[in-house]
A and B are shown apart, each in its own frame.
Chain A
Amino acid sequence: MARTSSIQNKMMLLVLIPLLVWLGAFELVPVLRMIAMSFQNNDGQGFTLGQYVKGLTNPLYGKAMLNSLKISFISSVAGLIIALVCSYSITRFTTKLRDRMIMISNMITNFVGVPLAFAYMILLGSNGMLTLIGKELGIRSIAGFDLYSEAGLTLTYIYYQVPMAILLVYPLYNGIREEWKEAAAMLGASVWSFWRHIGIPVLLPGVLGTFSILMANALGAYATAYALTGSNYNLLSIRISALVSGDIFPNFQLGSALAVILAVIMIASLVINEWMASLSRRRGL
């Protein structure tokens, strides 16, 4: 009996080998190489913290970090607010409509990168459909909208943050039980009092967790921003790309250090998410 079980375990490990090879070759080795390179000098030799010092003190990269954080923060907050309202309204639909809305959100979540940038160019580019309509109708805010600016970039970020936020926030509303609302009403609470004292506190850990995922999602975004602004807008992901592939003076070591800094920021977001989730689990939410 024990022998059969041991053979079964070995067979299971055998099945895992392709996955382990894949993870090692395309995840672990590149990450380890990147970390190792981030501690090397520009010639790829020795051990130095110089790349990190440069990454954190150089105004160009400092500004890139700030821009990345700013655009990620604004798009995450806006996306989250829109998703909170939309998800709540989805919970009020019929099951059939609800399933369709979630399916559409799922689909839109994957509509990112160059196709998304192209779609926005068609709509709000210099000769975009909405831009031309705005010009025709004399609506200056639309006619004069610059898609290739920070505002344009924020708009596209919000666009892809919303469906992802809906997918993450929608299940949270299922956790709000109708009996809580009824019990609160029986105890003298208004609808607002219910949300203030019960609904929002119950949702909050999940909402903050969602926010951290959105932040990580936006911080790592590259293709949409690059397709829209090239390297004209200073984002950390674009700077890393320029250092490892696009610059006439590539510096893999500095690029690696910036990538590690970006990864640390994203991991910090995810750690906050896990902490919030464990807080919820402890309270049985």
Chain B
Amino acid sequence: MFHRSWVPRKPYKADAWGMETAVKARGLTKRYGDVRAVGGIDLDIHAGEVFAILGPNGAGKSTTVEILEGHRTRDAGEVSVLGVDPGRPTRGWRARIGIVLQTANDMTEATVGETVRHFAGYYPAPRDPDEVIERVGLTENVNRRVRQLSGGQRRRLDVALGVIGDPELLFLDEPTTGFDPEARRRFWELIRDLAGQGTTIVLTTHYLDEAEALASRVAVVAGGRIVAEGEPATLGGRASAKARVSWSEGGERRALETETPTGTVIELTRRFDGEVPDLTVTRPTLEETYLRLVTLPEVTP
């Protein structure tokens, strides 16, 4: 069997929308009975980018992603994923996307190697199983049963199964929930690595630092709608928000909110004739911005 080796893929061909768009959604809507889970979401995810969807539990992010994955039907709206309507998934389309689900505790008695090789058989042009296992750092565990893996190792196996078919687009649903900090860092390296090979990645997460570390763009979902979208550094007017300059003076901590922090620092430098004691200049963290966004007054349906 021939396997695609782990090399950067060629850029996408422009799809029917005329752009290198991996995911496009307009007016995506989903209700469960009387509950509106998704209330008109628009998305444009470009080929090759890492796109994070942030939001509190029940905000509609998992529903949105499951509609994009073809796991759930939608009530209304136009959706295209790799040029195909995920409401009518085909086998060929399934071969082009990879999905890492939120929780899984299946296949406990198979070994890592058997599992990855078995799943490789589902795809028309899979990656080399041994190479994938090495990429996710499970080479030493290749002969271990899945049930013997730690939580982090189990998750990396899920990623291995998500990428074994050499997908153009990979969905990761809260991939690092329950990880210790070191395992998360290692996991991030893996995701950056995949993104570096040209795989488009759609990631949902609770963790702001995760979105900031990995994503080129983020969308914040609250109450079934996108309340902000952009680069992590500028999200929700974060970059242009007032900066907080603080320093120590006369044994006291002093602080100033200003739109011109550079001017303030120059002024302080003059005043202290050199080094300003304990000087810090900060903007709102992504977390502060996020919390402000998701606690905005409820949008009316």
Real binding pair: no
Residues of A within 8 A of B (CB): none
Residues of B within 8 A of A (CB): none
